[in-house]
Amino acid sequence: MLLSPVTRNTPPQQRNFRWVARRPAGPPAARRRATGPGQTPRYSEIPRWGLADQTARATAGKDALVDFGKRAPRLLVVTAVFFGLSAIAECLRYGVLLYNRTWLVPPLVLALSDAFVLLVAIVALLAALAAAIACSGWLISVRARIFAAQGHRDPRRRRTVVLGCVVPVLNLVAPGIFLNEIAATATVRQRRLIRWWWLAWVFNAALVVAALSWRSVDSLQAKANGVLFTAFTDIVAAGVAVLTLLLIKDFEGENLLGHKRMPKRWVIATGPVTPVIEPIRPAKQETGVAAVEAPRDGAESAQQDPQQEVMAR
């Protein structure tokens, strides 16, 4: 233990330090041997450390009207079918009227004819109303999609679109205007379909008004003619439903059967057309004659060889 500094040549008696002996420490602790994998750590409660677990935000509720608009094609098919059945029912009624000119019609047949006409007409009108509401939902969705692709929002309110497609008299003008507002990005085929659909829609409405006014006539022959005119009106209504379905499918990029429409690609021709497969040319007649004459020469030589052998003998 050094108490104060001294020189190296100082005798031991005068040195200002002394040696202290201590017992050495015990042996070093043995290293722990590596053991196998232990159990998976568990927590008695959820740890409070780490990143905060942000729960996903609740998604906005589905739009019922837009979802109902996806059923527009099926409802239009149902509408076309029942208007076609209504036309058939009117034709059957006209046949009953023709039969009644000569013979009496049984009351049961007359009741069944009237019930069939009334039932099919009511179902066709309800299907047409449901199809009109569904088409308004489809129109809202397609307008939102087209305006969103241009970086804008639909300037029309949903209520305006629905009322314009459902309210009578107003629905003769409003749907055509709504469709023409999105026709700027439409193809030439779609613009032509919009014009033809609008014309057929107004023409069908005029036929409906004429058919309703025809029922007020008192003459029997006029009423019979009104039955045929109503059948013609039902046929036109079925055609308008099919034309509406064609318009919707065209905006969705599909044909009337629901298959994806394949785009046509036009390529500019830079030179004359070169056939991929060489055209088939008929063989020359000389080769055919030579092929036929060759076996004959061989047969004649085969006949001459035995004769030459006999002459040689």
Domain boundaries, the chain: 65-251
Q: What is the pLDDT along the chain (313 residues), one digit of tens a residue?
A: 555 666 667 776 766 666 777 777 777 777 777 677 778 877 777 767 666 666 666 555 577 888 888 899 999 999 999 999 999 999 999 898 888 888 888 888 889 988 999 999 999 999 999 999 999 999 999 998 888 888 888 888 888 999 998 898 998 999 989 998 888 777 888 889 999 999 999 999 999 999 888 877 777 788 888 889 999 999 999 999 999 999 999 888 777 776 777 767 777 777 777 777 777 777 765 554 444 444 444 444 445 555 555 455 5
For CA atoms 166, 61, 72, 117, the dihedral sign is negative
Provide the 10 A C-beta neighbour count for residue 174: 20
Q: What is the pLDDT of residue 284?
A: 66
Q: What is the pLDDT of residue 299?
A: 47
Contact 246, 193 (CB under 8 A): yes
Contact 72, 134 (CB under 8 A): yes
Contact 229, 210 (CB under 8 A): yes
Comparing C-alpha atoms, which of 129, 179, 128, 130 is closest to residue 156?
179
- Spell out the residues 6+ positions from residue 256 whose beta carbon is closer than 8 angstroms to its own: 242, 245, 246, 249
Q: What is the pLDDT of residue 283?
A: 74
Q: What is the pLDDT of residue 92?
A: 92
Which DSSP string do the residues of the chain spell out, in sequence order? Answer: -B-S---TT--GGG-SB-----PPP-PPPPPPPPPPP-PPP--SS----SS--PPPPPPPPP-HHHHHHTTHHHHHHHHHHHHHHHHHHHHHHHHHHHHHTTSPPPHHHHHHHHHHHHHHHHHHHHHHHHHHHHHHHHHHHHHHHHHHHTT---SS-HHHHHHHHHSTTGGGTHHHHHHHHTTTSS-HHHHHHHHHHHHHHHHHHHHHHHHHHHTT---HHHHHHHHHHHHHHHHHHHHHHHHHHHHHHHHTTB-TTSPBPPPP------S----SSPPP-PPPHHHHHHHHHHHHHHHHHHHHHHHHHHHH-
Q: What is the pLDDT of residue 56?
A: 64
Beta pairing partners, 254:
260
Q: What is the pLDDT of residue 58?
A: 56
- Global pTM reads 0.64
